[in-house]
Every structure is written in structure tokens, then in C-alpha cells.
Amino acid sequence: MKSWGLLLVAALAIGSSFGVHKNNFKTCDQSGFCKRLRSFKPEKSQYSLNLDTVIVHGNVLSAEVNTVDTTTQKRIILWHYALRLSALVDGTFRVEIDEADPLYPRYRTQLALNGEPKADGLKIVSNENGIITVANSQGHKVIITAEPLKLEFVNLAGDVAVILNDNAQLMVEPLRVKKERVDDEDTNLVEVEEEGTWGENFKSHHDSKPRGNEAVSLDFSFPEADNVYGIPEHTDKLALRTTTSGDPYRLYNLDVFEYELDSRMAIYGAIPVVYSHGPKRTAGVFWHNSAETWVDVVNYADSTVVSSLVNLVTGGQKRRVDTRFISESGIVDAFVFLGEKPADVFRQYTQLTGSAPIPPKFSLAYHQCRWNYVDEADVRGVDDNLDNYDIPADVIWLDIEYTDRKKYFTWDPIKFPHPSDMVANLTAKGRKLVVIVDPHVKREAGYFLHEDATELGYYVKDKDGKDYEGWCWPGSSSYLDFFDPAVSKYNSERYLFENFPGTSKDVHLWNDMNEPSVFNGPEITMPKDCRHYKPPQDGNDGLAAFWEHRHVHNEYGLWNVRSTHEGMLQRVDNKYRPFILTRSAFSGTQRYGAVWTGDNAAEWGFLAVSVPMCLSLSVAGVSFCGSDVGGFFKYPEPELMTRWYQAGAFQPFFRAHSHIETKRREPWLYEAPTTALLRDANRRRYALIDFWYTLFYEHSVDGLPVMRPLFQEYPHEEDTFTIDDQYLLGDKLLIRPVVQPGVSSVPVYLPGAAQRTLWYDVDSYHAHHAAGYFTQDVTISKIPVYQRGGIIIPRKERIRRSSSLMADDPYTLVVALDVNGTAQGSLYIDDGESYEYRNNKYIYAKFKYESNAMTYSFPNENAHYPTRSWVERIVIAGIKTPPKTAKLHQGDKQLSLQMTLHKGNDVLVVRKPGANMAHPWKITFSY
Ligand SMILES: *[C@@H]1O[C@H](CO)[C@@H](O)[C@H](O)[C@H]1NC(C)=O
Ligand SMILES: *[C@@H]1O[C@H](CO)[C@@H](O)[C@H](O)[C@H]1NC(C)=O
């Protein structure tokens, strides 16, 4: 929705230009642990493994690790640590390093994993000369060097894919008791504590740091990699850049007003997973930590990396990328993915953290939003105009102004007196409503939520244990502590229809500001020494009785959306699928909702960056991603608006949104030719709605990104490694949005030359032979989209007001033939909103085309759905020898079909096959 812009109105009014207020946010040097650990560059790691302590039990190797004072000959042990190396299924390993006997337990991230990871077998292969080699049941190996500690992960090809601590940057700062200052004569005996150990300041904010320093860090090297990817959310390129000059990439969920482009600054989301890729292999590391984190990247092939460093670290090998994660607290907990292909590592990550479940179908259609549709008449007007101007839309959204003065779960009694009627009017057209509920709670006497939360102790506490008070939209606000199961349950229950009158199963939710945003907090968020719930355990008192916000910050929003999700399920007896949009994101968020890229602006650069931003989120598990279409701040001129709709129509989450102070810009408010172009973009989305739905079904099963970087499908094609202005939907469509003004052509890279891939322009069915870059001419109405030869795509060409009204409509099947004259595809159908698919009430069908027949078959014979849809038309592009006859076979029925030839006689249209899609069918061709 928006950031704390209103507070800055004064600043803007006196003429400061658009842009981020950088001094509100920390640099690495202003973040105590980042500065401290980034400068820690020992020649040799002090950490070593005690070989006498190694035990393998089940899938876990455990051993003691010690830090040794290497400056003396005597090897004085400084501290004890516990190492656990676990073998998990699917070529994944987990490395945990914690203090062997911490003063009190260190925080372990709680909600990112989708349940306990599945174990694989682990055995010791060899143990000699201070080197232990272990292997999992598949044969992936880990070579552990005891001193200094180093772990090398070996893939099935026998290559080292990932190395831990090769750069000696393993560090776990032990928890300590604060020493009272002793003014001893003999000052040598007084341990001088580093400044900032027990408290830090940023601007006017003081962080009390009651546990002192407790940072962790570790480096991961990827030999023979060309690039690394991941660690969203940033406005940078998909392929991450070397950070030796400037700051590392930062992961800390923040509400950054007018965030800037090409930046490593933290913004709303923080997903600590990184992937390496080169022609030989792909690997990855998931840094399982929810505290503030900074990530350094050194790509030895970058011209900015001096050759002396290349020689020192890699012996002159430029094909290698090193990364280093530094977190403020927690333990070292890293999952290592051994690939070996991009699709393997992306899957390995979603195996751990979950895939998005099948979303309700409407949520894949077009969303119309603004801060704000001001009252019921406004909503009605927008709803009517969508129809008057023939703009298909499934959802109208309400931002914060619908509430009774920013009190969530209430309606403004003047502007929204009849919410049930309003919702009923929308649903009569198959449309839905989404309303916003933010996690800040207005501190107002008489507001039930505030009174309950105060009385029951449900708010996050400040450093002294009192209810924390911050400033947000409602003014003075407090924040629910979702970490407490009782609070989460209470919050979930607020979504029950009886507790949120005016809502129905067709009202869905938007959780914004959940970084959380606190206008007067340090870096516009919650102070790190705030206290969160910790399950009570015997002997947990003092500092062991609660977690600090610093430990959990990046997963706060995840707990928020999980609680919302639970509530939305409960309100309809777990019958209907919820749709939730969240701004904050962490590992695992994809299990509960969609993510958008926050408060962007109506500028070409923000349109362009929506592609790499969503690609980066997508490979990090969040396939359901989009940006505010049109830009949130500022006003998009017709050309930008047109290009943004055209781009948005081919991104997973497709929502137009705008700031309250900008000019209204619903599609019909532009001149007629522009309105027509926006309509056309929406209609293209609706024609492919079943294609999108099928992609998301497949994602729910295989965990692979819906929106894919080219290198996922073409991992050996080096040109694809850095392409982030075009992408694939599944392995089926290639999209190259136009993101620059005034262009009459764009360069498009068509991958797959080695496989003799054909790419069909979806507008003309013209087949391009993949041969790298070519120049695509574009007009203002052109969206460069190509269907891969060998793919069959289902379309619906009778566009209606909303997607649900199209449920029974007939299909047009577009068959794009590969060089061998064959093609295949898939189609998923269910009721679009319930969980009945879990009871086999769905169709997941496969299409197959060969020159003598086209088939539509159900691999799962137990799954059925009584759709009334039928096949209206089959378009076969790239046909060489047209068949003479075509005959449909369905059940006992046989029917001769008519065909027509088009274009240069290479597009064949089979007319009105009429086959019902609820049952298998076959069309035979003769020549
Ligand atoms: C619902 O639609 C009816 C018929 O158009 C209209 O009279 C009524 O005002 C609408 N209700 C709301 C709350 O918009
Ligand atoms: C065409 O068929 C050949 C031989 O079966 C196969 O090797 C090749 O992969 C196929 N090409 C495509 C694009 O499917």
C-alpha cells in the first residue's frame, strides 16, 4: 500500500525531489555486527573439529568444534561449539553450529520450514589424516577437514560444488555475562569490552542489546560458478553483483519510502537463499536465520575484483563466486543444495520451505486497486465502469480508508454502511473484494481489539516488558505478538464472519505494513530490544524468558500471514482457499500468500525492475509475485500505463494500484485508444487464465518457479545466465515485455538453438528458429510473447466480466509444433475455489499431438471434474503436410471434423471438435 509518506509531505513540499531518504536506514558501518564481522578477515580459521568427538547417529554427524588461540604455540582452547551435519533427502545437507553450552538458548528460526526436513542415510566413508569423508545414500559426499574447519560438498559427478569456511569467516560470537566495570589498578586483568557490545545508537534510537554481541557468520564458495542469484528482495539485477566496493546486500524487512533502483538496500522482503550457477552445475545455500543479515558477494570474474585477490583465494581461477552471510543473532544453520541443475536447486529449496498451494482461480485474474476507493458509491462506480468499458476484472480492493478511522475489522459507518450489500453486488458479477488488515492496532479506548489485546497481554512488549507503543496509520499503535499461539488464535478468530461483519467467503485479505512498519521506530520498524513470546520452560527466567525482536524480525510478517490464513480457513470450515497478499516476505511466506514489490513509482525504471525482482522472488519460492501496475507513486502517462498493463498481464500477480494523492487512473480515464490497449492487455490475461491456473497447479506439485529465468530451462547456454529482462512461464511461453519509452523494436533472445527449438510469435504464429538475439519490431499494441515449439496451450477466447463467468466456456487449443512435428501440453480444471481437489474432484489432463493423432488423456484415472467446457477450436501451427481428414473419438462417439488452412498453409484449424473436456478424447488424422 504505502509507506510513511505523509510524514514526509512537508519535506517534499519544500522541494526535495523523489527518492529514498537513505539516512533513515543503516549502512553496514552503522550496523554494529556488520561492521565488526565484515572486517574480521583472519588468515586462518580459528575453528577446528575435535576428531575424537565425532559420532554418527542416524542421518546426523555430530562433533565438537573448538576455537583455538593460534597466536601461541600452546593451543589454548577458547570456546566450545557443537556441529551437526545432517543428510536430508534429495541431495540436501544441513550444517548447524551452535555454542556447545550457551549461557541461554540461542534463537532458532521457527516458521520457515514446512515441517521437519526428511532424513536421508549418512555414513562415514573414510577418516584419516584429519579428514573425514561422509556420504548420503545417493552418493553425495561431504569432506570435512578438521583443522582449520572446512566442509566441501561433492556432487554425484565427483565435483566440489560448495565449500564452507574456505575464507575462514566462520564466526559465532559467544553469549557472555556483562562484566561490571572494575577500576582495578592492574588494568591488564580487566577485559576491555568493545564499544557497542551492550548497546548501540542509531540516530535518536538506542538499542539496549541485553544479550550483548551474538552475531554469526559463514562463507560459502561456489567453484566454477559464473553467477549467484537469490537473496530477494532488492531492486538489483537477478545475477548478483560483487560487493567489494560499497555495502553488502542487506536482508532486513523494512518499509522503505520511495525505494531506489539498482540498490542492495533492504526493502520489504528478506529471503536468505542463494544459488550458484555455471555451465557445469548449479548449487545453493539456504541460510536459515531470521535476524538482520548482510550478504557479501565476490565474483572473481568481475573486473572490479583485483587479480591479487583472485590469485590469493582461487589460485587464479576466475570462474568462482564466494558469498558470505553475516547475521546479528541466531545460530549458524545452513542447508546446502547440490543440484545439479537449476530446477533441482529450486525444488530442493521448496521441498524445505513449501510450495504455494493452488490459489483460488480469481486471484490469478485482474485486480483493480487504489488507495482508496472512498465509499460504496465509488466501488459501485468502478465496478460498473469495468463493465461499461468492457474491462474484465475479478477483484476490487479496499485500502485502509474503508475502516472506521484505521481500526481493522471495522467499517467506516458513513462511507461503508452496507458492506454486505456491496459484497453481494460484486459477487453477483463473479467479482470479489479484498480488504486490508494491517498488524498495527490503534490504541483507542473502546476499540475491542485494543482492549482485548491490552487486557490479555497480547501485544509485543518493549524492552522493559510494557506494551510497546509505536506510531503508524492510526496514530499511536501497538502490535500483536503473533509468536504467542494464543495471540495468533485470537487474531485468526477476528476473521470469523461473526467477528468481521460484512465479510463473506468472497472477501479476501491484504496484510500490509507487516515488516512491521513503525513510523517513529529505528529504520521505520520495531526496536530490536522489543520482546516477543517464547514458550515457557522450566528455568526460563531473565533473558531466557523471551525472544527479542532482533532474533525474529524477518519472520514477523510470516507469523502475521500464517495467522490470517488460519482465520480465513476457519471462517468457512476449511472449505475455501484463502487469498492473502503480503508485503513482508520471508522463507515460507509462499505457503500462505502472494507477495508484491511494494510502493514503486510510475517510472520506466520501476516497470523494468519488476521483472528481475519477481524472478528473484520466484526462484526463492515466491512464484505468486507482481508489482503495482502503473506505479504507486506518481502518475503514469499513457505509454507507460500501456506498457505496464502489457507486462503485468504476463506476471503472476496482476494488480493495478495507486497512491491516494495521485490522479485517478482507472483504464477508462485515459483517452479511448489507451483504454483500448489496456483492455486488450486484460483480455489477453483472461484468454490464458486456465494456462495460469495450470501452471500454479503444477507449481503446487513440483515446487518449480512459475515465472522462470531462462537459465533454468537452458542451463548450458551461457548467454542466458544474466538475462533478466525476459523470462519463461513454465517451460512454455517466453515473455519479453517492452519496458522503455518510444521504442519501435526490442532485442529478444530466443534460447535453445542447440535443441533446434522453434518459438512461435503468439500473435502471428510465425515460427522463429532459436538463434540467440533477434530484433522484434514492436508497435504500441505489441507484447512480444512466444510459444515454444512442442507446447500445447489451452485458451479461452470468449472473454467475460470475470474469470468465474468463463468457467464453462469452450477452449481453443493452440498446438505449436516442434521440429519433429510433435507437441504436448497440460490442463488443470477444478471448481476454482474449494479444497475438493483433495478429494480427486479435478482434472489434470495431458495433451499430446503427433502427426497421426491428438489425444487428451487423464493420467490420474481417479480424478474427475464434471466440467461443461468443450473444445471449440484447435489451431496447429507449424504443420508441414496438412492431413486430409480428421476424426474425433470420444466414448462411443465418432465425428468427422472440418479443417481450414491459414497463413502460408502452415496453420491448420480444426473447427468445432465439440469434445467435452470432462472425458478423454482423441482426434485421428489421415493423409
Ligand atoms: C447494490 O446494487 C443495487 C442495485 O444496483 C444498488 O441499488 C445498491 O445501492 C448497491 N448496494 C451497495 C452497497 O452498493
Ligand atoms: C526430435 O526427435 C529426435 C529423435 O527422436 C530427438 O532426439 C529430438 O530431441 C527431438 N527434438 C525435439 C525438439 O523434440
CB 106 within 8 A of CB 330: yes
Rounded (5°) CA angle 203-205-208: 135
| Whether the Cβ atoms of residue 372 and residue 400 lie closer than 8 Å to each other | yes
Give me the residues paired with residue 776 across strands: 746
C-alpha cell at 909: 484449424
Q: For residue 400, what are the contacts with CB-CB under 8 A and spacing of at least 6?
A: 1, 371, 372, 406, 436, 438, 473
Which residues fall within 8 angstroms of residue 879, CB to CB, at 6 or more apart? Answer: 817, 821, 906, 907, 908
- pTM of the predicted structure, to 2 decimals: 0.96
Distance 400 CA to ligand 1 centre (A): 22
3-state class (DSSP) for residue 338: coil
Give 494's contacts (C-beta < 8 A, 6+ positions apart): 408, 409, 449, 500, 567
- The ligand whose atoms approach the alpha carbon of 376 most closely is 1
The Å distance, Cα 755 to ligand 2 centre, comes to 8
CB atoms closer than 10 angstroms to residue 312:
10
Amino acid at 907: V
Q: Do you find a cis peptide bond into 535, omega within 30 degrees of 0? A: no
Ligand 1 atom with the smallest distance to the CA of 376 is 14
219 is catalytic: no
Contact 890, 847 (CB under 8 A): no
Helix (H, G, I), strand (E, B) or coil at 738: coil
CA–centroid distance, residue 820 to ligand 2 (Å): 6
Ligand 2 atom at minimal distance to the Cα of residue 758: 13
- For ligand 2, atom 4, the nearest C-alpha belongs to 820
Region 282-309 average pLDDT? 95
Query: With bands split at pLDDT 50, 70 and 90, how would you rate the model's confidence at 10?
Result: very low
pLDDT at 6: 46
What is the per-residue burial (b if ≥16 Cβ within 10 Å, else e) of 833-864?
A: bbbebeeebbbbbebbbeeeebbbeeeeeebe
CA-wise closest residue to 640 among 659, 672, 665: 665
C-alpha of residue 815 to centroid of ligand 2, in Å: 17
Taking the centre of ligand 2 as the mean of its atom positions, its distance from the CA of residue 460, in whole angstroms, is 60
851 C-alpha to center of ligand 2: Å? Answer: 14
Q: 73 falls in which pLDDT band (50, 70, 90)?
A: low
- Average pLDDT value for the chain: 95
Is the Cα dihedral 257, 5, 605, 750 positive or negative?
positive
Contact yes or no for 606/614 (Cβ under 8 A): no
Antiparallel, parallel or unpaired: β 843-850 and 823-829: antiparallel
The residue contributing the CA closest to ligand 1 atom 1 is 425
Give tens-digit pLDDT for 799-843: 999 999 999 999 999 999 999 999 999 999 999 999 999 999 999
Please tell me the distance between residue 209's alpha carbon and the centre of ligand 1 in angstroms: 56
The reported pLDDT for the residue numbered 19 is 87
Residue with cell 542469484: 229
Q: Which residues surround ligand 2 with Cβ inside 6 Å?
A: 755-756, 790, 818-820
In angstroms, the CA 654 to CA 649 distance is 6
Distance of CA 682 to the CA centre of its chain: 24
pLDDT beyond 90 at 120 = yes
Q: How far apart are CA 318 and CA 314, in angstroms?
A: 7
Q: How confident is the model at residue 17 (pLDDT cuts 50, 70, 90)?
A: low
pLDDT tens figures, 550-609: 999 999 999 999 999 999 999 999 999 999 999 999 999 999 999 999 999 999 999 999
Query: Which three cell numbers, joined as nine digits, stand for 349?
Result: 529449496
Among protein residues, the one with the nearest Cα to ligand 1's atom 2 is 425
Per the residue annotation, which of 247, 344, 399, 512 is the catalytic one? Answer: 512
Cα of 757 to ligand 2 centre, how many Å? 10
- Nearest ligand 1 atom, CA 379: 14
In the block, cell 488507495 appears at 371
Characterize 462-498 residue by residue with b for buried, 16 or more Cβ atoms within 10 angstroms of its Cβ, and e for exposed: bbeeebbebbbbbeebbbbbbbbeebbebbbbbbeee
Expressed in angstroms and rounded, the spacing between residue 200 Cα and the centre of ligand 2 is: 63
Ligand 1 atom, smallest distance to 377 CA: 14
Judge whether residue 188 has pLDDT over 70.
no
Q: Is 207 a catalytic residue?
A: no
Ligand 2 atom with least separation from CA of 822:
14
CB 150 within 8 A of CB 163: yes
- Output the CA angle 129-77-550, nearest 5 degrees: 110
* 621 HSE (CA, 13 A, CB side): 30
In total, the chain counts a number of residues equal to: 927
Question: Concatenated DSSP letters for 848-917?
Answer: EEETTEEEEE-SSTT-------BEEEEEEES-SS--SEEEEEETTEEEEEEEEEETTTTEEEEE----BT
Burial of 733 (0-12, 13-18, 19+ CB in 10 A): buried
Per-residue confidence (pLDDT) for residue 14, from 0 to 100: 40
Using DSSP's 3-state secondary structure scheme, residue 668 falls into helix
Q: Residue 408 pLDDT > 60, yes or no?
A: yes
Closest residue by CA, ligand 2 atom 10: 820
pLDDT at 185 over 90: no
Q: What angle do CA 128, 133, 134 make, to 5 degrees?
A: 140
Pocket test for ligand 1, best of 373, 375, 376, 380 (most atoms within 8 A of CB): 380
**Strand locations in 3-146, DSSP E?**
47-57, 60-69, 76-88, 92-99, 122-128, 131-136, 141-145
- Closest residue by Cα to atom 5, ligand 1, is 425
Ligand nearest to the CA of 791: 2
* Residue 9 binned pLDDT confidence (cut-offs 50, 70, 90): very low
Tell me how far the alpha carbon of residue 897 lies from the centroid of ligand 2, in angstroms. Answer: 29
Choose the residue to mutate in 820, 822, 848, 849 for probing ligand 2, maximizing ligand atoms within 8 Å of C-beta.
820
In words, the CATH class of domain 791-926 is mainly beta
Q: What is the pLDDT of residue 140?
A: 98
Q: For residue 419, give the ligand 1 atom closest to its CA.
A: 13
Q: Letter for the amino acid at 643?
A: R
Write the burial class of residue 108 (CB in 10 Å: 0-12 exposed, 13-18 middle, 19+ buried): middle
Q: Whole-angstrom distance between the N-terminal and C-terminal Cα of the chain?
A: 59
| The domains spanning 39-175+215-241+270-353 and 791-926 adopt the same CATH topology | yes
Pick the ligand that lies closest to the CA of residue 424. 1
Ligand nearest to the CA of 770: 2
Q: Which three cell numbers stand for residue 321?
A: 563466486
Distance from C-alpha of 163 to C-alpha of 165, rounded to nearest angstrom: 7
Name the 3-class secondary structure at 839.
Answer: helix
pLDDT over 90 (residue 452) = yes
Counting ligand 1 atoms within 8 A of each CB, the residue from 379, 382, 421 with the most, and so the one to mutate, is: 421
pLDDT for 636 equals 98
* Pair 327, 693: CB distance under 8 Å: no
Break the chain into its structural domains and give their ranges.
Answer: 39-175+215-241+270-353, 791-926
Taking the CA of 427 as reference, the closest ligand is 1
Percent of the chain with pLDDT over 90: 91
- Per the structure block, which three cell numbers stand in for 93? 545437507
Which of 599, 628, 809, 831 is catalytic? The answer is 599
Q: Identify which of 735, 734, 865 has the alpha carbon closest to the alpha carbon of residue 791.
A: 734
Pocket of ligand 1 (CB under 6 A): 376, 380, 418, 421-422, 425
pLDDT category at 75 given cuts 50, 70, 90 is confident
Ligand 2 centroid–CA 717 distance in Å is 18
Question: Which amino acid appears at position 151 of this protein?
Answer: L
In the block, cell 545439479 appears at: 340
Of 425, 426, 431, best ligand 1 pocket probe by most atoms within 8 Å of the beta carbon: 425
Residue 57: how many other CB atoms lie within 10 Å = 8
Q: What is the DSSP letter of 735?
A: E
pLDDT recorded at residue 8: 43
Residue range 838-860: average pLDDT?
Answer: 97
Nearest bound ligand to the CA of residue 375: 1
Taking the CA of 823 as reference, the closest ligand is 2
Residue 555 phi, psi (nearest 5) = -105, 10
Nearest residue (by CA) to ligand 1, atom 14, is 422
Buried/exposed 592-624: b ≥16 CB within 10 Å, e otherwise: bbbbbbbbbbbbbebbbbbbbbbbbbbbbbbbb
Residue closest via CA to ligand 1's atom 3 equals: 425
Atom of ligand 2 nearest to the CA of 757: 13
Sole residue written with cell 523471551: 546
User: How many whole angstroms separate alpha carbon 596 and alpha carbon 2?
Assistant: 12
894 in Cβ contact with 905 (< 8 Å): no
Which residue has the CA at smallest separation from atom 3 of ligand 2? 820
- Closest ligand 2 atom to residue 819 Cα is 13
The residues facing 395 across adjacent strands are 367, 432
* Ligand 1 nearest atom to the CA of residue 421, by list position: 13
Query: The C-alpha cell of 526 is what?
Result: 520495531
Q: How far is the CA of 421 from the centre of ligand 1 (A)?
A: 7
Spacing, Cα 822 to ligand 2 middle (Å):
9
Q: How close is the Cα of 799 to the center of ligand 1, in Å?
A: 25
pLDDT grade for 314, boundaries at 50, 70 and 90: confident
User: Confidence band (pLDDT; 50, 70, 90) for 318?
Assistant: confident
Which pLDDT score, from 0 to 100, does residue 424 have? Answer: 98
Nearest one of 334, 294, 325 to 108, comparing CA atoms: 334
Which phi and psi angles does 523 have, rounded to 5°?
55, 35
> Per CATH, is 39-175+215-241+270-353 categorized as 3.30.70.20?
no
**Nine-digit cell at 443?**
490504541
Kindly indicate the confidence band of residue 191, based on its pLDDT and cuts at 50, 70 and 90: low
Owner of C-alpha cell 537513505: 22
pLDDT for 69 equals 80
Asked whether 783 and 649 are in contact (CB, 8 A), the reply is yes
Write the residue with the smallest CA distance to atom 9 of ligand 2: 755
Q: Ligand 2 atom 7: the closest Cα is on which residue?
A: 755
Pull the grid cell for residue 577: 482457499
- State the DSSP string of 685-705: HHHTHHHHHHHHHHHHHH---
The DSSP letter of residue 664 is P
**Ligand closest to the CA atom of residue 756:** 2
d(CA 635, CA 658): 8
Render pLDDT for 523-558 as a digit per residue (tens, 0 to 9). Answer: 999 999 999 999 988 778 899 999 999 999 999 999
Q: List b or e across 545-576, with b for residues whose CB sees 16 or more CB atoms inside 10 angstroms.
A: ebbbbbbbbbbbbbbbbbbbbbbbbebbeeeb
pLDDT tens track for 726-753: 999 999 999 999 999 999 999 999 999 9
**228 class by beta-carbon count within 10 Å (0-12 exposed, 13-18 middle, 19+ buried):** buried
Maximum separation of any 2 CA atoms in the chain, in Å: 105
892-905 mean pLDDT? 94
Q: Which residues contact 350 (CB under 8 A, 6 or more apart)?
A: 590, 621, 703, 704
